[in-house]
Amino acid sequence: MTDLVNAEHVNKSFSGVIALQDVQFNLKPGEVHALLGENGAGKSTLMKIISGVYTKDSGDIHINGKKLFHDLTPQSAQAMGIGIIHQELNLCPHLTVAENIFLNREFTTTGVLNAAKQNQEAKKYLKTLNLDIDPAVPVRKLPVSKQQMVEICKTLSMNANIIIMDEPTSALSEKEIEDLFKIIAMLKNEGKGVIYISHRLEELSRIVDRVTILRDGKYITTMNFAKTNLPEIISYMVGRALTEKFPHVEVERGKKVLEVKNLSSPHGAGVKNVSFDLYRGEILAFAGLMGAGRTETVRAISGADKMSAGEILLDGKPVKIHAPCDAIRFGLFCAPEDRKRDGLCVKMTLTENITLPSLDIVSRLGVIFRNMEAKKARAMVDNLKIKTPSVDQYVRNLSGGNQQKVVVGKWLMRDAKVVIFDEPTRGIDVASKIEIYNIMNELKRNGIGVMFVSSELPEILGMADRILVMCNGRVTAELKAGDTNQEEILKYATQY
Ligand SMILES: Nc1ncnc2c1ncn2[C@@H]1O[C@H](COP(=O)(O)OP(=O)(O)OP(=O)(O)O)[C@@H](O)[C@H]1O
Ligand SMILES: [Mg+2]
């Protein structure tokens, strides 16, 4: 059986930074092949070479048994049946769902766009993914999870036989993941090949046939999934065994720092009458299903959305938060869920991103001290082990997981009372997750109130002191992390 993809001796560097060094990878028809490695290992770079986004420096690539004599372009890769679902969403926010799906392949009647027909076709593909989305809606109006599903739909509609999925499930709900896995099983049955990149290692056993592991841009090994196990995979990824998954620390709880009373917000699916307290030196987690109102709650508290009712008290004093700048002034910081849209300026450098909310610290009379700025950024890079050739690197060139560290890092420069993380470990590798948990612990030890939203229950149970469960915009339970379990949380998360 001819390999769908066979790549050998692939090398790629970016202005001196080696991203791939003598890497090999092959994909067989009818297999799901996981490509694993830590943040910055080179996974996305290899996939971008195979899909024509990047050109390689050297190496041999065969597609469907044919050697490529020229580097692919996105168009020629598509023509050869290669489809890629990108890690960082690649949709045009102002175009509709249908326009995005059929971008550059528009449905026309005698040269004129036939929007009705295009919407109808889009609907058909949306249906295969069980998606009830209006194809005429602009993509920017959809939540991240739905945008990710549209991106998946777009690739599937191209009828590719080599399908690359770069972190497809990072923003999806359980149900959407189920639907995606059904589609993957279907593609497999049709003899197509799927390359699957994910940091959610637990989900691999449900779909994966083989795994290939990269570390620091080098090929480590390829294994049959049935013949290995997660601890072995992790030790190949990280280069050492990882013992502690959730480094929980005990800290004596301090005074009440944040009090939220009867908060309501009309945004998203809505927040209704949410009240809770947060204490210094504690970690409070928000559990719930997608759409439960967790993100909307933290957005309202941090001034990203306007609340329609409710009161916020910081250290016992009522505060009015109309915009994020108010929250920042009061010492309440938020690392948002959608990092590319809300958390970063990707066209600015790492230094500029890290110091952007702290320009008052690195400037006088409107003049920025560039040396001081760079020094602060370098300290942050060391502290968080951000993988980058320099602090002057543009954030868009960092790997996904390292971008996330920048989102978190910029708040660590300031004196905080409350730090809120919305899905802080999305797209983050196993070892870096522990680094993010250590940051949360450090804040907790320093007497800061920490809140986080997460869709991963083991992480909630492992890191939180207290858990608020939300469902349909309301708080349905408050639980002590030590006294509860996944089943109980899920019961309250699905209580209508
Ligand atoms: N366009 C670019 N310019 C400069 N450096 C780049 C570019 N793209 C990737 N890199 C660098 O190449 C290395 C590999 O990055 P890549 O995005 O392939 O990692 P990854 O394995 O996909 O990581 P993650 O799990 O975080 O997504 C990183 O050090 C990254 O900073
Ligand atoms: Mg990547």
At residue 63's C-alpha, the angle toward residues 60 and 69, to 5°, is: 50
> For 450-485, b where at least 16 C-beta lie within 10 A, e where not — what string?
bbbbbbbbebbbbbbbbbbbbbbbbbbbebebeebe
Q: Cβ distance 38 to 239 under 8 Å? A: no
Question: Amino acid letter at 333?
Answer: F
Q: Verify whether ligand 1 is closer than 6 Å to residue 473 (CB atom).
A: no
- Closest ligand by atom to 429 CA: 1
Q: Which of 238, 269, 297 is the last residue of a domain?
A: 238
The answer to whether residue 212 is domain-embedded is yes
Q: Verify whether ligand 1 is closer than 6 Å to residue 48 (CB atom).
A: no
CA atoms of 477 and 473, how far apart (whole Å): 12
* Cα 28 to ligand 1 centroid, rounded to whole Å: 25
Q: 214 - beta bridge partners?
A: 219
Query: And the tokens for 81?
Result: 């049946």
Show the domain range for 188. Answer: 5-238
Choosing from 25, 213, 399 the residue with most ligand 1 atoms within 8 A of its CB, the one to mutate for a pocket test is 399
User: What is the position in ligand 1's atom list of the atom closest to the CA of 388?
Assistant: 31
* Cα 46 to ligand 2 centroid, rounded to whole Å: 9
Query: And the tokens for 227?
Result: 């013949």
Neighbours of 206 (CB within 10 A): 12
The answer for 315, left when phi > 0, alpha when psi is -120 to 50, beta otherwise, is: left
The answer to whether residue 219 is domain-embedded is yes
Q: Is the dihedral of CA 463, 469, 472, 473 positive or negative?
A: negative
* Cα 349 to ligand 1 centroid, rounded to whole Å: 15
Do 297 and 214 fall within a single domain?
no
Do 314 and 376 fall within a single domain?
yes
Tell me whether residue 91 is exposed, middle or buried, using C-beta atoms within 10 angstroms of its C-beta: 0 to 12, 13 to 18, 19 or more. buried
The answer to whether residue 250 is domain-embedded is no
The answer to whether residue 53 is domain-embedded is yes
* Cα 401 to ligand 1 centroid, rounded to whole Å: 9
CA atoms of 190 and 177, how far apart (whole Å): 20
Q: Cβ distance 467 to 458 under 8 Å? A: no
Q: Verify whether ligand 1 is closer than 6 Å to residue 399 (CB atom).
A: yes
Q: Verify whether ligand 1 is closer than 6 Å to residue 43 (CB atom).
A: yes
Query: And the tokens for 56?
Result: 């390689």
Chunked in runs of 10, what are the mean pLDDT values of the chain (496 residues)? 95 91 97 95 96 96 93 93 88 94 90 92 90 93 86 89 92 85 92 95 93 96 96 89 84 96 92 97 94 94 94 96 93 87 90 91 91 93 89 90 87 89 88 88 94 93 97 96 93 83
Q: Which of 238, 266, 293 is the last residue of a domain?
A: 238
Predicted TM-score (pTM) of this structure: 0.81
Do 135 and 166 fall within a single domain?
yes
User: What is the position in ligand 1's atom list of the atom closest to the CA of 48?
Assistant: 18
Whole-number pLDDT of residue 358: 87
Whole-number pLDDT of residue 343: 86
For the sheet containing 256-265, what is the strand order? 271-279, 256-265, 309-314, 317-319
Q: Which of 238, 269, 291 is the last residue of a domain?
A: 238
Q: Is the dihedral of CA 212, 215, 220, 225 positive or negative?
A: negative
Whole-number pLDDT of residue 496: 56
The answer to whether residue 244 is domain-embedded is no
CA atoms of 379 and 32, how far apart (whole Å): 41
Tell me whether residue 348 is exposed, middle or buried, using C-beta atoms within 10 angstroms of its C-beta: 0 to 12, 13 to 18, 19 or more. middle
Do 340 and 399 fall within a single domain?
yes
Angle, in degrees to the nearest 10, between helices 144-156 and 115-128: 100
The answer to whether residue 20 is domain-embedded is yes
Whole-number pLDDT of residue 428: 83
CA atoms of 288 and 423, how far apart (whole Å): 12
The answer for 423, left when phi > 0, alpha when psi is -120 to 50, beta otherwise, is: left
Residue 297 makes CB contacts below 8 A (sequence gap 6+) with: 263, 265, 271, 274, 286, 470
Q: Verify whether ligand 1 is closer than 6 Å to residue 19 (CB atom).
A: yes
Q: 419 - beta bridge partners?
A: 333, 450
For ligand 1, atom 22, which residue shows the shortest CA distance?
44
Residue 325's CATH number: 3.40.50.300
Do 145 and 187 fall within a single domain?
yes
Q: Cβ distance 397 to 378 under 8 Å? A: no
Q: Verify whether ligand 1 is closer than 6 Å to residue 42 (CB atom).
A: yes
Do 302 and 163 fall within a single domain?
no
Q: How many domains does the chain have?
A: 2
Q: Verify whether ligand 1 is closer than 6 Å to residue 389 (CB atom).
A: no
Do 445 and 373 fall within a single domain?
yes
Do 184 and 276 fall within a single domain?
no
Q: Cβ distance 474 to 309 under 8 Å? A: no
Do 102 and 197 fall within a single domain?
yes
Q: Cα 407 vs. chain centroid, distance in angstroms? A: 12
User: What is the position in ligand 1's atom list of the atom closest to the CA of 43?
Assistant: 21
Do 375 and 275 fall within a single domain?
yes
Q: Verify whether ligand 1 is closer than 6 Å to residue 87 (CB atom).
A: yes
Q: What is the pLDDT of residues 256-310, one digit of tens each?
A: 999 999 999 999 888 999 999 999 999 999 999 888 999 999 999 999 999 999 9
The answer to whether residue 251 is domain-embedded is no
Do 231 and 281 fall within a single domain?
no
Do 179 and 288 fall within a single domain?
no
Q: What is the SS3 assignment for the chain?
A: CCCCEEEEEEEEEECCEEEEEEEEEEECCCCEEEEECCCCCCHHHHHHHHCCCCCCCEEEEEECCEECCCCCCHHHHHHCCEEEECCCCCCCCCCEHHHHHCCCCCCEECCEECHHHHHHHHHHHHHHCCCCCCCCCEHHHCCHHHHHHHHHHHHHCCCCCEEEEECCCCCCCHHHHHHHHHHHHHHHHCCCEEEEECCCHHHHHHCCCEEEEEECCEEEEEEEHHHCCHHHHHHHHHCCCCCCCCCCCCCCCCCEEEEEEEEEECCCCCEEEEEEEEECCCEEEEECCCCCCHHHHHHHHCCCCCCCEEEEEECCEEECCCCHHHHHHHCEEEECCCHHHHHCCCCCEHHHHHHHHHHHHHEECCEECHHHHHHHHHHHHHHHCCCCCCCCCEHHHCCHHHHHHHHHHHHHHCCCCEEEEECCCCCCCHHHHHHHHHHHHHHHHCCCEEEEECCCHHHHHHHCCEEEEEECCEEEEEEEHHHCCHHHHHHHHCCC
Phi then psi dihedrals of residue 314, to 5 deg:
-115, 125
Q: Verify whether ligand 1 is closer than 6 Å to residue 21 (CB atom).
A: no
The answer to whether residue 246 is domain-embedded is no
